[in-house]
Structure 1
């Protein structure tokens, strides 16, 4: 039987981030009680969220202009090694984590901040590990050389 031309990721990565963030905010945040919370935390969190969102959009756009799919359950048609990918093999997940962190700070949710660690652990095990194995199989030495030069996160 022929292997499918994708990483075999079953759960969309944004769903991990959204689930953990929602759980954390639900467990501890003034937002759940209909309050805004600390204006300082809201301002800092908003700035961090905007920065993360900009990097996320930039990373997604890079996939589009490179002619490859951003979704890990679809085939990767090109190996991206420039732009933000010069600094991180996973700039989309870094951007999602920064965006998550910004929202958690804006919500003043310590629980959501702590849960980010567990979210990233699951992303590493159930998403990145599969993607890396797939890219090694598909692009061989080219991907292995890229892995040696560029860190997984930042």
Structure 2
């Protein structure tokens, strides 16, 4: 299954899954409750803030943001949002898909964010972690021991 590793750009995968969720969600939009719209807005806002902070950190450290070529990373970013999550951009995409599912009202739509997270874990994060370990060795091992893949609420 390594043939699928680092092949599909994660934002494209998020859009594909979101479109697959759409047929059951779009008829429900006019009937969504106010709490659904509020939760959706909060999730989109949270995802937007997280992805913005992650992109800014990558630009500040002058390293690649291309998820299809993790071996081109020039520095290990472990501060800012990356002190709470090793994968904040993927976390943001899960937030966006979850926001979309909140509006739907159909239980099977929750498969969208779960499938995205499972695919990303296996075919994107695992190969990225192997590349980071090769590039940054012990520093990356210490980072992975201190910071979870998805999110940590409190800092030490």
Consecutive unaligned residues of structure 2, counting only runs of 5 or more, are 152-156
Task: Confirm or deny: 8 A CA contact 1:53 1:96 kept in the other structure.
Answer: no
Match of 1:87 among 84, 88, 96: 84
Task: Confirm or deny: 8 A CA contact 1:42 1:107 kept in the other structure.
Answer: no
Alignment correspondent of 1:68: 63
Match of 1:121 among 118, 122, 126: 118
Consecutive unaligned residues of structure 1, counting only runs of 5 or more, are 1-7
Deviations 1:94-134 (A, max 9, x none): 11111221122134453332221111111001000000000
Alignment correspondent of 1:142: 139
Match of 2:41 among 18, 38, 46: 46
The count of residues paired between Structure 1 and Structure 2 equals: 144
Deviations 1:34-64 (A, max 9, x none): 8523142122212211121111111111111
2: distance between equivalents of 1:52 and 1:67?
A: 22
TM-score (normalizing by structure 1): 0.85
TM-score (normalizing by structure 2): 0.84
1: distance between equivalents of 2:14 and 2:32?
A: 23
Aligned-pair Cα RMSD in Å:
1.7
